Amino acid sequence: MGCILAKEASPPPTPLLPRPAAAGEGRHCRSRRIRRQRLEPRLSKPPGHVHGEQVAAGWPSWLSNVAGEAINGWTPRRADTFEKIDKIGQGTYSNVYKARDMLTGKIVALKKVRFDNMEPESVKFMAREILILRRLDHPNVVKLEGLVTSRMSCSLYLVFEYMEHDLAGLAASPTIKFTEPQVKCYMRQLLLGLEHCHNNGVLHRDIKGSNLLIDNEGSLKIADFGLATTFDPDHKHPMTSRVVTLWYRAPELLLGATDYGVGIDLWSAGCILAELLARKPIMPGRTEVEQLHKIFKLCGSPSEDYWKKSKLPHVTIFKPQQPYKRCIKDTFKDFPPSSLPLVETLLAIDPAERLTATDALISEFFNTPPYACEPSSLPKYPPSKEMDAKLRDEEARRLRNGGGKANVNGINKTHARDRTTRAVPAPEANAELQVNIDRRRLITHANAKSKSEKFPPPHQDGALGYPLESSHYMDPAFDPPEASFSTVFPYQKGGMTAWSGPLINSATAGHPRRKKKSSGNSQMPTNLKQLAGANTTKEAQKDKGITQFR
């Protein structure tokens, strides 16, 4: 969620001031300006009378001051009109609760936004998320149903329709094996949601399984617009390239592009399609360097011509010494044949070749039998969210430590389920403890979710934890232990999977495998090797910073 504090060199993603009219600018330019204003959420202080009206309507003054536009036309709901049922999720900047709306009886999700000392910047970024959510209205985009606060309140809750699952949780469950029609059904909904976002000038910028919520009717909805931004292809403005969780981040972002477009979300969608078919993440990089290396190994490195023409800032640093050949077809030779052209298109190195969500929806994949099933025909799954997995792990730990003597059945049950859970994020509540800070730093690299547009640095993320054995549809030769980079594969084999990254710092622990691997680094250009180290150090340094905010 977007309590964001931008401390980057890059300009803010939504320039807010309309350009003053130049002499001679006609109606055409004015209408373009109006369109631009419509596209770019205004986050300025509202005029005095509007501020007064908003406060009279029950909004706190601090919110109206900074985010007047975001709350315009809405009335706040009072917290005592909701009954909290359970905590169901924890994001970096929010806690999410299951609650009952006592006016309607409906079950909802309440996302409580954490503000750090009411910093206007963090309130503004949250306002941007609200404005973006209010602009969108589609069955495959999560709906913001209201806001909960009061005049004297220091907190804000976003009210959403309640969603029982997320795609990462379902995909990680070893008991759930998606069929081809089911994969098509989820992908179709994802692309329809993306099409709506893009047609309305919104880039999501953090598409990944845990942000794709699924309800018990099989509907998939894109959620978490904390990193989203507005864009206008006719009036490009520079945007930060440090967006999207690393495993799903497009190559142009890794190369430092600031004028990207819808292609970045389509790349992430391509990673998800291949992940659903392969039953494990296809490019789990731990640093930006490693991520780009994995991309080149699978998708081929760009042509000489591309490198020559490219004006991307990091091109000289990242250019591999030897070109890599594209090997998507070989790697995914067991994928359903009609899926390969779509995977190829979505994972095109050149964003211009990735086409659009609309193009993807009319591709062969969706028009070849077996067709996508109806969402309502999807199975009704047991709870599978990140938080469910976390609670199960905590319960298992408690029982192992002797707390479960009273319930032998409970122990057995928990242990059995425990083995099947996926990775869960580090406990946020313990972040102030040094041991957890250190863990977080390591896990940050492993999970590599960039939230640098939020608080510096990228925070750790629950990501996906698949048992190694669950690999499917994917050529095992594709991802042998990484000679150049990885020292610990970010998944654990069987047993308890409590973390999605290494718990020890393999860079300093003298891991025996590491020595062997580091000698296999010869393919990597020296400048890349240096950067790999530099990057890690930088990330770790930045990571220290986050502890000050929590």
Ligand X SMILES: Nc1ncnc2c1ncn2[C@@H]1O[C@H](COP(=O)(O)OP(=O)(O)OP(=O)(O)O)[C@@H](O)[C@H]1O
Query: Which residues contact ligand X by CB under 6 A?
Result: 1, 88-89, 91-94, 96, 109, 111, 142, 160-163, 166, 210-211, 213, 223-224, 226, 385-387
Distance between alpha carbon 354 and the CA centroid of its chain, in Å? 20
Rounded CA-CA distance 403/399 in Å is 5
CB 172 within 8 A of CB 464: yes
**Min. distance of Cβ 55 from ligand X in angstroms?**
27
CB of 227 to ligand X, least distance (A): 7
Residues 378, 179: Cα–Cα separation, whole Å? 10
Report, in Å, the least distance between residue 459 CB and ligand X. 6
List the structure tokens of 484: 């150049």
Question: Closer CB to ligand X, residue 1 or residue 340?
Answer: 1
Reported as half-sphere exposure (CB side, CA atoms, 13 A), residue 169 has a value of 24
In terms of CB distance, is 69 or 386 closer to ligand X? 386
Cβ(348)–Cβ(354) below 8 Å: yes
Cβ atoms of 310 and 317 closer than 8 Å: no
Taking residue 133's Cβ as centre, other Cβ atoms within 10 Å add up to 21
Give me the amino acid identity at 202.
V
Is 206 catalytic? The answer is: yes
Tokens representing 88 are: 């169901």
Closest distance between ligand X and the C-beta of residue 281, in Å?
16
Q: In whole angstroms, how close is the CB of 172 to ligand X at the nearest point? A: 13
| HSE of 229, CA atoms in CB hemisphere, 13 A | 30
Rg of the chain's alpha carbons, rounded to an integer? 23
Distance CA 204, CA 209 (A): 13
Give yes or no for a contact between 277 and 476, defined as CB atoms under 8 angstroms apart: no
Say which residue the tokens 């501020």 belong to: 51
DSSP string across 288-300? HHHHHHHHHHHH-
- What residue type is assigned to position 306 of the chain? Y
Separation of alpha carbons 270 and 249, rounded Å: 11
Active-site position among 206, 224, 388, 479: 206
456-487 core/surface letters (b: 16 or more CB in 10 A; e: else): bbbbbbbbbbbbeeebebbeeebbeebbbbbb
Return the number of the residue (89 or 263) whose C-beta is nearest ligand X.
Answer: 89
Coil, strand or helix at 107: strand
Residue 440 structure tokens:
């977080």
**What is the Cα–Cα distance from 296 to 459, expressed in whole angstroms?**
26
Question: Any known ligand binding at 111?
Answer: yes
**Tokens read off for 284:** 């789990």
Are 228 and 265 spatial neighbours (Cβ–Cβ below 8 Å)?
no
Torsion angle defined by CA atoms of residues 114, 120, 122 and 128, in that order, rounded to the nearest 10 degrees: 110
Amino acid at 119: E
What phi and psi values does residue 245 have, to the nearest 5 degrees?
-55, 135
- % helix, strand, coil for the chain, step of 5: 45, 10, 50
Q: Which is nearer to ligand X, 386 or 418 (CB)?
A: 386
Non-local CB neighbours of 462 within 8 Å, separated by 6+ positions: 168, 210, 386, 423, 424, 425, 447, 500
DSSP state, 406? T
Q: Could you tell me which of 206, 186, 185 has the C-alpha nearest to residue 197? A: 206
- Residues that constitute the known binding site for ATP: 111
What residues are annotated to the active site? Answer: 206
